[in-house]
Amino acid sequence: MIEMKDVWKAYPNNVKAINGISIRIKKGEFVYVVGPSGAGKSTFIKLMYREEKPTKGDIFIDEINLAKLKERAIPSLRRRMGVVFQDFKLLPTLTVFENVAFALEVIEENPASIKRKVMDVLEIVKLKNKARSLPHELSGGEQQRVAIARAVVNKPEVLIADEPTGNLDPDTAWEIMDILDDINHRGTTVVMATHNKDIVNTIKKRVVAIEGGRVVRDEVRGSYGYEA
């Protein structure tokens, strides 16, 4: 479970990005985070994987309070959470296989088990046949599928995505959604910030709308609610 209790975030330049958010996300939920540009969606997401620390309030990932988490405990937190970005962030000199394997906990892993785990997730994102390709040899949608494979290879409880379809054409965006939905159905909690009105209005999920750093709407099977 993810829980925020009266969370505030002001950046060092004194921009108040999050202004008193309390929210609970249960294990296995799929949540869209929507809202206008500058509303605080990315900040909300960054607080969840401890890229940013709250100025005030508590954020729990199960029993771990991110507001109190020691720096040295961050890597083990990150292993429990997969993160996907709009711009993929693949390592350009590594193959698809290597990009995914790189995210695996290398300690205690023998080559055969690494290979099995990587090929298993490449199967989920339908990219087994591209395992030896380099990122620049792939389409944008394929690159995002590699990024998703990398994010889920450690079987995280939570997958966090900040505009994962933002750089993709509409058809490719739907393919990515199919994969995120599939991963969610396998038990992973998914939290996804998005501006994609069609997707939010078609694949109905919980919608949390943020404006001015506050939750202004939180609906089960909600809609996008803004003009795209």
Ligand X SMILES: Nc1ncnc2c1ncn2[C@@H]1O[C@H](COP(=O)(O)OP(=O)(O)OP(=O)(O)O)[C@@H](O)[C@H]1O
List residues near ligand X by CB under 6 A.
11, 13, 15, 17, 35, 37-43
Cβ proximity to ligand X: between 38 and 170 the closer is 38
29 three-state secondary structure: coil
Instruction: Find which of ligand X, Mg ion, none residue 11 binds, CB within 5 to 8 Å per kind.
Output: ligand X
Cβ proximity to Mg ion: between 41 and 130 the closer is 41
Cβ proximity to ligand X: between 128 and 214 the closer is 214
Distance CA 219, CA 175 (A): 25
Cβ proximity to ligand X: between 102 and 226 the closer is 226
Q: Sign (positive/negative) of CA torsion 37, 223, 60, 118?
A: negative
Cβ proximity to Mg ion: between 42 and 99 the closer is 42
Please check whether residue 158 is in contact with residue 81, taking contact to mean a CB–CB distance below 8 angstroms: yes
Q: Sign (positive/negative) of CA torsion 161, 71, 187, 62?
A: negative
Distance CA 100, CA 118 (A): 6
If binding is defined by CB under 5 A, does position 189 make contact with Mg ion?
A: no
Residue with CB nearest Mg ion? Answer: 42
Q: Please, what is the minimum distance in Å from the beta carbon of residue 114 to ligand X? A: 35
Binding flags for Mg ion, 89-118, as an x/- string (CB under 5 A): ------------------------------
| Tokens read off for 25 | 């996300």
If binding is defined by CB under 5 A, does position 165 make contact with Mg ion?
A: no
Owner of token pair 């002001």:
10
Distance CA 207, CA 85 (A): 19
Q: How big is the site for Mg ion, counted in residues (CB under 5 A)?
A: 2
Q: Sign (positive/negative) of CA torsion 224, 27, 66, 83?
A: negative
Instruction: Find which of Mg ion, ligand X, none residue 39 binds, CB within 5 to 8 Å per kind.
Output: ligand X
Interface residue with Mg ion among 39, 42, 52, 209 (CB under 5 A) is: 42
Distance CA 30, CA 183 (A): 10
* Interaction site with Mg ion (CB under 5 A): 41-42
